[in-house]
Amino acid sequence: MKLMQIIAAFFTGTLLTLAIVAFTKTVKNEDGYTIEHERDIEKAEPGSHNGGGMTTAYSFFSKVSDLKLVFRKRVLRPGSSIGYHLQKEDEIYYIADGQGELTMNGKKIPVTAGDAILTRGGNSHGLKPVENDSLTVIINYDK
C-alpha cells in the first residue's frame, strides 16, 4: 500500500509540474515575448516593389497588432529582386547570406554577407542577387 501511495504522489507531482510549466509558458508569452519559427511563416512571393521573380518571404510578428516596427527576412532567388523604389522612411537591410547588387540613388554598389545598409527617407534603392546565387536579406523599418 505504501508503494502505491508513493507512486501516486510521484505522478501527481509530475502532472502538477507539467501543468505549472505549461501555464508559465503561456503567462510569459502574454507577458512580453513572442517566438516565431520561420518554417511556420515561410511564404513564396514575387519580388517586392515590382522586383519580379520569386522570393521566399518571412514576415516575422506580422500578427502582433501593436508592434511599431517591421522585421522581415527575404531570400531573393536568381532572377528576382527588390525593385528600385523611393524610400519614405528609414529602412535597414542586413545581408545575411550571398552576394548582391544594391542600386542606391542610381549608383550600383556590390554588397555581400555581413553588410548593413541604412536607407534614409527620400532616397531610392533596389537590391538583387548576382549571378546564379540567392541573396538573403533581413529588413527592418518602422510601420
Q: What is the pLDDT of residues 27-36, one digit of tens each?
A: 236 668 899 9
The one-letter code for the residue type at 79 is: G
Same domain, 55 and 1: no
CATH number at residue 131: 2.60.120.10
For residue 21, the enclosing domain spans 1-33
> In this predicted structure, what is the pLDDT of residue 32?
80
- Summary mean pLDDT of the chain: 84
How far is Cα 79 from Cα 129, in angstroms, rounded to an integer? 8
How far is Cα 110 from Cα 130, in angstroms, rounded to an integer? 9
pLDDT digits (tens, 9 = 90+) for 88-108: 999 999 999 999 999 999 999
> In this predicted structure, what is the pLDDT of residue 61?
94
Q: Kindly state the average pLDDT of the residues 48-64.
A: 95
> In this predicted structure, what is the pLDDT of residue 29?
60
| pLDDT > 90 fraction of the chain, expressed in percent and rounded | 73
C-alpha closest to that of 48 among 20, 16, 73: 73
Which residue's C-alpha cell is 514575387? Answer: 46
Number of domains into which the chain is organized? 2
Sign for the pseudo-dihedral over CA of 89, 90, 96, 99: positive
Element (H, E) at 30: helix 2-30
The answer to whether residue 10 scores a pLDDT higher than 90 is no
User: For residue 6, what pLDDT band results from cuts at 50, 70 and 90?
Assistant: very low
Same domain, 94 and 121: yes
pTM over 0.85: no
> In this predicted structure, what is the pLDDT of residue 131?
85
| Residue bearing the bigger pLDDT, 30 or 14 | 30
Same domain, 8 and 46: no
CB atoms within 10 A of CB 18: 10
Which residue's C-alpha cell is 522581415? Answer: 72
Same domain, 80 and 138: yes
Q: Are 45 and 57 in contact (CB under 8 A)?
A: yes
